[in-house]
Amino acid sequence: MDSRDLFEILVREHIDSVRAFLLSTLRDGVAAEDLLQETFLVAWRILDRYDRKLPFGPWVRGIAAKLILNHRRKLGRSRLHYCDDEVLTHLDDSFHKFSQLSGDTFDDQLDALRGCLSRLTGPQLDAIKLHYEHGLHCKEIAARLGIGFEAVKKHLQRGRAQLHRCLEHKIVGEGAA
Partner 1 sequence: MSEHDPMPESDIPAEWRQADDTLADAAAEHVPAGSQGWLAQQRFVHGLLRALHTADASAREARLQNLLQSIDAERAAAPRTGPRHWLLVAAAALLLATLGVYAVLPPRLPTAEAAVQRVVEHLARDVDLRYQLLFTATAADGEQKLRHEFDLVTRPGMHFLVDGKLSFGAMQLGEFRIGCDGQELWARSANGAMRRAMPIAEREKLLQGLGDVLDLGYLDVHALVRRLPEDFELKVVGSEQGEGGRRLLRIEASRERGGRRPVLRSAFLLCDEQTGMVTRLEVQAATGRGARREIAFELVGEEPAGTIDYRRPW
Name residues contacting partner 1, limited to 31-90 (CB under 8 A): 33, 36-37, 40-41, 44-45, 47-48, 50-59, 61-63, 65-66, 77-78, 80-90
Within positions 100 to 159, which residues make up the interface with partner 1, using CB under 8 A?
Answer: 100, 106-107, 110, 113-114, 128, 132-133, 138, 153-154, 156-158
Judged by CB under 8 A, does residue 177 bind partner 1? no
CB atoms within 10 A of CB 109: 20
For residue 17, what is the enclosing H or E element?
A: helix 3-23
Residue 9 to residue 12: CA distance in whole angstroms: 5
Judged by CB under 8 A, does residue 19 bind partner 1? yes
For residue 40, what is the enclosing H or E element?
A: helix 29-45
What does each C-alpha distance from 170 to 17, 111, 146, 162, 175 come to in angstroms? 18, 11, 34, 12, 8
Judged by CB under 8 A, does residue 21 bind partner 1? yes
Shortest separation between residue 59's beta carbon and partner 1, angstroms: 6
